[in-house]
A and B are shown apart, each in its own frame.
Chain A
Amino acid sequence: MTRAARCADARTQNQKRRAPVIEPQVHNHAPVRQDTLVEIRDLHFSRRGRPIFRGLNASIPRGSITALMGPSGTGKTTLLKLIGGQLRPDRGQILVDGVDIHRLGRADLYRMRRRMGMLFQTGALLTDLSVFENVAFPVRENAVLPEGVLRTLVLMKLEAVGLRGARDLMPSELSGGMARRVALARAIALDPMMIMYDEPFTGLDPITMGVIVALIKRLNDTLGLTSILVSHDVQEAASIADRLYLISDGLVVDSGSPADMERTESQWAQQFMKGLPDGPVPFHYPAPDYLSDLMGAAQKEGA
């Protein structure tokens, strides 16, 4: 068999492997709109008895960048894990491309995950593999490609994030921003339909943050992706997102375009978007009356 024929054969095999053979299985409720990639319906989830989500609803349009925002501890990362099928909800549905992700069997779930990319907050690079091998990892594990084709593919992904020259470095030799860019190259290695970003801007200097913001926008537009961005960096997320969801206390408090959110009348949304120290989210942790607390302490000392 010639080299060209071998390549064509490998491509056919990979297309067969990657082809989504999952039939839509929407079991109840209203049908999913064609322009919606992820639909979250009446999501309830609790951890160790503490409710995290209490009937959350949201829809992520295809081709858009949607930012899920809210204070720390509101369950934004948990929501990404629920969308990726790593956690199961107590009640409700998450439909990804029309398929209820939590009704899939293990094989179908893994097939679906090949069409999803995820960028973890820490990058989650495999520490014993070089930058090149990290980007090649999902391809090697999920497809059979000739080494030359794989090399070209990996170099293209690394070029897209500006790190083609860093292919031989180990993760321990990368800065935080570089590690996140490598993780981004790895996330797009399987040409997914969507990417989930978990706090991509945390702990980055302004220049690196600008690079990551630009990359997310550019990759989304050029590759025709759908991006779900979890962040509490208001300015950065609002600068590239088409739609924002503000989450607090297990529910969507407000949603809309960044311009809508600037004009919102919701006091909670105003406090979050403007970073005000006091408001519906109080500055003080609940405590007894200040004066009586002090007097009580004085009386105790006197006694």
Chain B
Amino acid sequence: MLGSLASLGRWALGVFERLGRGHLFLLNILMSLHVVVTRPRLVIRELYSVGVLSLLIIAVSGLFVGMVLGYQLYITLVRFGAEEVLGSAVALSLVRELGPVVTALLFAGRAGSALSAEIGLMKTTEQLSGMEMMAVDPIKRVIVPRFVAAFISLPLLAAIFSAVAIMGGYFIGVGLLGVDSGSFWSQMQANVDFYEDVMNGIIKSLVFGFVAAWIAVFEGYDAVPTSEGVSRATTRTVVHTALAVLALDFILTGLMFGDI
């Protein structure tokens, strides 16, 4: 009994210690953000590897999610003779919810894990330590550009995901199932509010981008410098980001749409 309590205590202390380290790390990043202005090329290079290289998976996933959504919503709506609202139903589902959430989950799997692995390997091969000894701050040179690139990329990728998914829904609804094209677009235009729906979706993706970027760079930087440590860090990045995004989505949805 006492042994179990001691183990629980050790686990809790470990969790709080890690949380503390993570927050101090974030503070360090925020205090070094001026690098974005003084050395924008570093951020642009990371934007390519984090954002541009994630485009394909985001676009393909968006297309399929949109097509599935078109099918599923049509099957339900046609029972009530309301298939002409398919456009607005697809758009609202994507812009408010699926766009930011699914993009964040895909981003964690594609770019977040890659960031953690890259930073973890730099630590394992003493590249970060080497930079410190060359009077180069690895937070400014390595971490901040990657953090900012991830933070900027996710909302843009979420927008692309939603746009492609809407096109997927259009192909299925209008092209395959015979929904009227004019109804599809006009219902969408009438029922999707820019501030209520689009802006809230953007806010969500900004929050998810911040959290996904923070977790990815922290897990890499805090990885145990062994091959097993890097492997664990990449796994933790995906798992923690997914859990954080889903939990935050619930809270943000409640705050934005639930009148909490």
Contact = CB atoms under 8 A, between A and B. Distances in A.
Nearest to A109: B135
A150 to B, nearest CB: 15
A135 to B, nearest CB: 11
Interface residues of B, number: 12
A111 B135 contact: yes
B135 A122 contact: no
Contacts of B132: 84, 86, 113
A142 B136 contact: yes
B181 interface: no
Interface in A273-299: none
Interface in B118-144: 125-127, 129-130, 132-137, 141
A114 interface: yes
Contacts of B137: 110
Contacts of A125: 127
B135 A113 contact: yes
A186 B130 CA distance: 10
Contacts of B134: 113, 137-138, 141-142, 186, 190
* Range, interface on chain A: 20 to 34
Contact of A118 (B125, B130, B141): B130
Interface in B130-184: 130, 132-137, 141
Contacts of A110: 135, 137
B32 to A, nearest CB: 11
Contacts of A86: 129, 132-133
Contacts of A84: 132-133
A101 to B, nearest CB: 12
A116 B136 CA distance: 12
A114 B127 CA distance: 16
Contacts of B136: 137-138, 141-142
Contact of B125 (A124, A138, A141, A190): A124
A32 B130 CA distance: 28
Contact of B141 (A81, A111, A141, A186): A141
B221 to A, nearest CB: 15
B133 A116 contact: yes
B197 to A, nearest CB: 41
Q: Which of A116, A120, A190 has the most CB of B within 10 A?
A: A120
25 contacts: A84-B132, A86-B129, A86-B132, A86-B133, A110-B135, A110-B137, A113-B132, A113-B133, A116-B133, A117-B133, A118-B133, A120-B129, A121-B126, A122-B125, A124-B126, A124-B129, A126-B127, A127-B125, A137-B134, A137-B136, A138-B134, A138-B135, A141-B134, A142-B135, A142-B136
Interface of B: 125-127, 129-130, 132-137, 141
Given A117-B133, A118-B130, A127-B125, 20 more contacts: A84-B133, A86-B129, A86-B132, A86-B133, A110-B135, A111-B135, A113-B135, A114-B135, A116-B133, A120-B129, A120-B130, A124-B126, A124-B130, A126-B127, A141-B135, A141-B141, A142-B134, A186-B134, A190-B134, A190-B135
